[in-house]
Amino acid sequence: MTLDPINLDYEPHLPPKTDYGIAIVGCGTIVTSATLPCYRKHKLNVIGCYDINPEASATLARRFGIPKVYRTLSDLLADPKVEIVEVAVLPRAQLEIVRQVAAARKHLLCQKPLADIYSQAVEIVRLAREAGIKLAVNQQMRWDQAIRAANTLIKRGWIGKPTDAMIQASFFSNIPGTVWAEIPRYEILFHSVHYIDSIRFLFGDPSWITSRHARYPLEGRVLGETKAITVLDYDTGPQVAIAVNMCNPSDERFFIFRFIGTEGVISGTLGISKYPEGEPDSLTWSSNSRCAGLRFEAKLEGTYLPDSFIGPIASLMQAIQENGVPETAGDDNLNTLRIAEAAYKSAAENRSVRLAEIGSER
Ligand SMILES: NC(=O)c1ccc[n+]([C@@H]2O[C@H](COP(=O)([O-])OP(=O)(O)OC[C@H]3O[C@@H](n4cnc5c(N)ncnc54)[C@H](O)[C@@H]3O)[C@@H](O)[C@H]2O)c1
């Protein structure tokens, strides 16, 4: 049987007004391969871009027909047509850019991780709050088709009381020689952070975090962890395992999930395995043994890349027009980063860490 896709309510909800003037800061890989292809589909109003490397901004503008290339960040911020600044640089550069954007009082969409040092993320959130601007984080896996559909099913009780969840990703990323090789805390902060945020979206914040990290042998220097297994325990019962291997040398890549409850199970695949083009996710719901035999398959339209990228910006635009809070607001994202910090503490100290141990300052 096929689940009715309308009832799964997995497609992004665009607010009534979507023509805000957007300017991009940082015109590299993610903007080129995912953000702008997605915004073009939805006819968003990208009016300009800026990169410290002028060749990068010129190339992006040519490729996507962006009308204006700014020579400096100050020029971009001085343009009254710019209402939302989208930052897509490595996290170390994000805070200084945010400082200037907040001073200019433009709304902000920042890339994940919001910062690679927790105190800098807190500072970013403080700057946005004090400037009275809306800040959202591009933590878009929450808008992945299967994750969104699973959320609908879980919230409507299709698995009963959640007991157990698993996300496993195994693929090969050629890290040596790239900028990622020089990042000391890599897999959790840059990759698992999406799964951590998705699990928070589905099940809320865990109580305990246990994480083990490894670096697989690669030819060439790599500073950070490339493999991690993280367990999230909830005082309310559920236990979650997130297992990622970025250095699986075989041809078999997989991205699988399973959400188990007292009444049923949701399982499937995330269509990231063909990076960066992607392929549709799969999702199956089946009942547990008490009413054995019931099973539905969902037919999900769209792909994680680029389609999920509409989620954070649509949510930001909605918050601007309703004076509300974006779903992945900076403040909310601090809890995702606290779990990442707890994972590093757990691995370093060979113990389970209570989430409450990690800075709750705002
Ligand atoms: N949301 C996602 O799924 C996702 C996926 C991949 C990457 N990312 C994040 O996006 C960010 C960028 O990743 P990328 O792969 O596009 O990197 P990249 O290196 O390809 O692009 C970054 C660009 O920023 C520019 N830049 C650096 N400092 C700048 C500054 N101060 N002002 C203006 N421009 C500056 C660089 O010249 C470069 O063109 C990273 O933080 C990464 O974690 C997010």
- In the predicted model, what is the mean pLDDT of residues 25-30? 98
What is the model's pLDDT at position 3? 54
pLDDT tens digits along 222-260: 999 999 999 999 999 999 999 999 999 888 899 999 999
pLDDT at 5 over 60: no
pLDDT tens digits along 256-313: 999 999 999 999 999 987 777 778 999 999 998 666 678 999 999 999 999 999 999 9
Among 154, 147, 183, 114, smallest CA distance to 329 is for 114
Least confident of 30-39, 53-62, 249-258: 249-258
- In the predicted model, what is the mean pLDDT of residues 111-138? 98
Ligand 1: does its nearest atom lie under 6 Å from the Cβ of 29?
Answer: yes
What whole-number percentage of the chain has pLDDT above 70? 96
Model pTM? 0.97
- In the predicted model, what is the mean pLDDT of residues 340-355? 98
Among 311, 352, 355, smallest CA distance to 137 is for 311
Cα dihedral angle (336, 309, 167, 204), rounded to 10 degrees? 40
Ligand 1: does its nearest atom lie under 6 Å from the Cβ of 326?
Answer: no
pLDDT at 4 over 70: no
pLDDT at 1 over 70: no
What is the model's pLDDT at position 290? 62
pLDDT at 103 over 70: yes
What is the model's pLDDT at position 278? 79
What is the model's pLDDT at position 165? 98
- Residue linked to tokens 């896709």: 5
What is the model's pLDDT at position 217? 76
Q: How far is the CA of 30 from the centre of ligand 1 (A)?
A: 7
What is the model's pLDDT at position 266? 97
Ligand 1: does its nearest atom lie under 6 Å from the Cβ of 112?
Answer: yes
Q: How far is the CA of 310 from the centre of ligand 1 (A)?
A: 18
Question: Which atom of ligand 1 has the smallest separation from the CA of 53?
Answer: 37
pLDDT tens digits along 142-159: 999 999 999 999 999 999
Ligand 1: does its nearest atom lie under 6 Å from the Cβ of 138?
Answer: yes
Q: Which residues pair with 3 in a beta bridge?
A: 298
- Residue linked to tokens 């690669």: 218
SS3 sequence of the chain = CEECHHHHCCCCCCCCCCCCCEEEECCCHHHHHHHHHHHHHCCCCEEEEECCCHHHHHHHHHHHCCCEECCCHHHHHHCCCCCEEEECCCHHHHHHHHHHHHHCCCEEEEECCCCCCHHHHHHHHHHHHHHCCCEEEECHHHHCHHHHHHHHHHHCCCCCCEEEEEEEEECECCCCCCHHHHCCCCHHHHHHHHHHHHHHHHHCCCCEEEEEEECCCCCCCCCCCCEEEEEEECCCCCEEEEEEECECCCCCCEEEEEEEECCEEEEEECCCCCCCCCCCCEEEEEECHHHCCCEEEECCCCCHHHHCCHHHHHHHHHHHHHCCCCCCEHHHHHHHHHHHHHHHHHHHHCCCEEHHHCCCCC
Sheet holding 46-50, edge to edge: 68-69, 46-50, 22-25, 84-87, 107-111, 135-138
Cβ atoms 139, 167 nearer than 8 A = no
Cα dihedral angle (38, 42, 48, 49), rounded to 10 degrees? -10
Chain mean pLDDT for the chain: 94
Ligand 1: does its nearest atom lie under 6 Å from the Cβ of 52?
Answer: yes
- In the predicted model, what is the mean pLDDT of residues 114-134? 98
Q: How far is the CA of 67 from the centre of ligand 1 (A)?
A: 21
pLDDT tens digits along 178-187: 999 999 999 9
SS3 sequence of 291-316 = HCCCEEEECCCCCHHHHCCHHHHHHH
Does residue 41 come out as left (phi exceeding 0), alpha (psi in the -120 to 50 range) or beta?
Answer: alpha
Q: How far is it, in rounded angstroms, from Cα 237 to Cα 175?
A: 37
Segment of 2-6, 205-209, 221-225 carrying the highest mean pLDDT:
205-209
What is the model's pLDDT at position 39? 98
Q: How far is the CA of 362 from the centre of ligand 1 (A)?
A: 26
Chain centroid offset of residue 163 CA: 24
Ligand 1: does its nearest atom lie under 6 Å from the Cβ of 140?
Answer: yes
